[in-house]
Amino acid sequence: MQVSIACTDHNLKRGNGEHSKQNATSPNVVNQARAKFRTVAIIARSFGSFTPRHISLKESTGKHTGMKYRNLGKSGLRVSCLGLGTWVTFGGQISDEVAEQLMTMAYESGVNLFDTAEVYAGGRAEIILGSIIKKKCWRRSSLVITTKLYWGGKAETERGLSRKHIIEGLKGSLQRMQLEYVDVVFANRPDSNTPMEEIVRAMTYVINQGMAMYWGTSRWTAMEIMRRRRRDQARERGEGRGEGGWRDGGRERGGGREKARGREVGREGGGGRETRRIEGEAYSVARQFNLIPPVCEQAEYHLFQREKVEIQLPELYHKIGKCVGAMTWSPLACGIITGKYENGIPESSRASMKSYQWLKEKIVSEDGRKQQAKLKELNHITEKLGCTLPQLAVAWCLRNEGVSSVLLGTSNPEQLTENLGAIQVLPKMTSHIVSEIDHILANRPYTKKDYRS
């Protein structure tokens, strides 16, 4: 109420500025208006319309579904805190009918975010996703569709992040999905063979052409988004982004790729100095040339993979003064956190598939056995909260305020229903519960500041 009155005061003074100069002996004008406003406010409050509330713009809850929505980084794009991914499942592990069933269940539960990539099932995942959207006649404006570019084909020019492949690759994705645009297009990994300026200019171009609304990075380290070159700092202090900031200034596939990606599961901070240097230039180049910077990073995040999302990205936010949203994937660590591998490898599981030999090796390794032992220790927490282990794991990811959305990868309706139930567990994730989990896992990452203190 005080805020409303203050704003009214300001508007009255601004609107009667000249009159006040001419008739300085009429100070009662503002007081009378304020009195009238108070009277109206008191009457309205009696009907419940003006009940004082502290409404957070960062998170809201769907009236009919209970789904929570958050801003994607500092953008105005509102995404459901749970999204549906299509890696492995669409066009591969599940039938088209099950894919439609899963998308329908997710959409009706309030999920508006659906993620895919040009490489998933050789493009089949995008085709299935687009066909379902068209068949269901969902309003395009109610959806947030994201795709990723890097592995587009076998030819040398059909992969990477060259301007040619970013533009042609995105056109191909849009054709397969039968869409006019995607909401976010991701660079699916860093490309050391392409200058950063070329990547950022190409992403700015596809946005200005209406092919995408935003762009982001996937599996880049924090320093790859941030600057590294000190010589840019002085220039940037003098230039900034300005009004022209939104104008363009000017090999693995299929199972092979899955194996490569699998080797990164559970590995902290993969990338090294060269990878950090590349991402450092992305944001620097965007600001230096008044181009569009990435708005989001897609990162692996789960109970056993924490450093990037909890340490590296927050440090980036502090340095650049801008929140780069985190859209996280694999909250159940490719099924490891579900508990189904506690007594071995079930025949119908992902780890039993030939292309997932790396996952099987990880599960049966010494580290894998230690992880399963820690998961058993979490059972008393799940019993206390009245939830399942997967629900606890997903809610644990969501409790991080830096996470805009968590992508779910499910192969059947039962799994999806269970994972969506994490929304009800989220309010129970108190600081005490989180501390209990940290104590059991004993893997909480620390910053240099933590060590000094």
Q: Would you say residue 245 has pLDDT above 80? A: no
**Is 446 in contact with 412 (CB distance < 8 Å)?**
no
Per-residue confidence (pLDDT) for residue 373, from 0 to 100: 93
Token readout for 397 is 């990811």
What rounded mean pLDDT belongs to the chain? 80
Q: How far apart are CA 376 and CA 102, in angstroms?
A: 29
Q: Which residues are catalytic?
A: 120
> Which residue is associated with the tokens 């292309």?
355
> What pLDDT, in 10s, does the model give residues 346-394?
877 777 777 778 888 888 889 989 999 999 999 999 999 999 999 999 9
- Residue found by looking up tokens 């869409």 in the block: 179
AA letter at 120: Y
How do residues 124-165 score in pLDDT, each as one tens digit? Answer: 999 999 999 999 999 999 999 999 999 999 999 999 999 999
Q: How far apart are CA 17 and CA 147, in angstroms?
A: 52
Among 10-24, 83-97, 149-163, 423-437, name the one with the lowest average pLDDT: 10-24
Distance in angstroms (rounded) separating the CA atoms of residues 89 and 105: 15
State both tokens at 104: 């329908």
Which of 24-28, 181-185, 219-223 shows the highest mean pLDDT?
Answer: 181-185
DSSP letters, 326-339, are EEEE-TTTTTGGGS
Residue 107 confidence class, pLDDT cut points 50, 70, 90:
very high
- Is 90 exceeded by the pLDDT of residue 248? no
Tokens 């071995």 belong to which residue? 344
Per-residue pLDDT at 35: 59
In whole angstroms, what is the distance from residue 189 CA to residue 217 CA? 7
Query: Is residue 113 within a helix (H) or strand (E), and if so which, with residue range?
Result: strand 113-115
Quick check: 147 and 118 in contact, CB under 8 A? yes
Q: Return the percent helix, strand and coil in the chain, to nearest 5.
A: 55, 10, 35
Across the beta sheet with 68-71, the strand order is 59-61, 68-71, 78-80
Q: To the nearest whole percent, how much of the chain has pLDDT over 90?
A: 58
Q: Is the dihedral of CA 131, 133, 136, 137 positive or negative?
A: negative
Burial group, residue 439, by CB count within 10 angstroms (0-12, 13-18, 19+): exposed
pLDDT at 403 over 90: yes
Most confident region among 24-28, 265-269, 304-308 by mean pLDDT? 304-308
CB 224 within 8 A of CB 320: no
Per-residue model confidence (pLDDT) at position 364: 84
Is the confidence at residue 222, as pLDDT, over 60? yes
Grade residue 280 by pLDDT with cuts at 50, 70 and 90: low
At 368, list the tokens: 């894998």
CB-CB contact of 281 with 199 (8 Å)? no
Q: Is 327 left (phi over 0), alpha (psi -120 to 50) or beta?
A: beta
* pTM for the model: 0.77
Residue-by-residue DSSP string for 263-274: TTTT-TTTTHHH
Q: Which of 108-122, 253-267, 274-288 has the lowest mean pLDDT?
A: 253-267
Give the model confidence (pLDDT) of 20-61 as tens digits: 444 444 556 546 655 554 554 444 443 433 333 333 447 899
Percent share of the chain, pLDDT over 70: 73
Structural domains of the chain sorted by starting position, each given as residue range(s) with its CATH number in brackets? 58-227+279-341+396-412 (3.20.20.100)
Amino acid at 97: E
**Interval 81-90 mean pLDDT:** 96
- What's the pLDDT at 31? 64
What integer pLDDT is reported at residue 80 of this predicted model? 98
Q: Report the pLDDT value the prediction gives residue 138, as an integer from 0 to 100.
A: 98
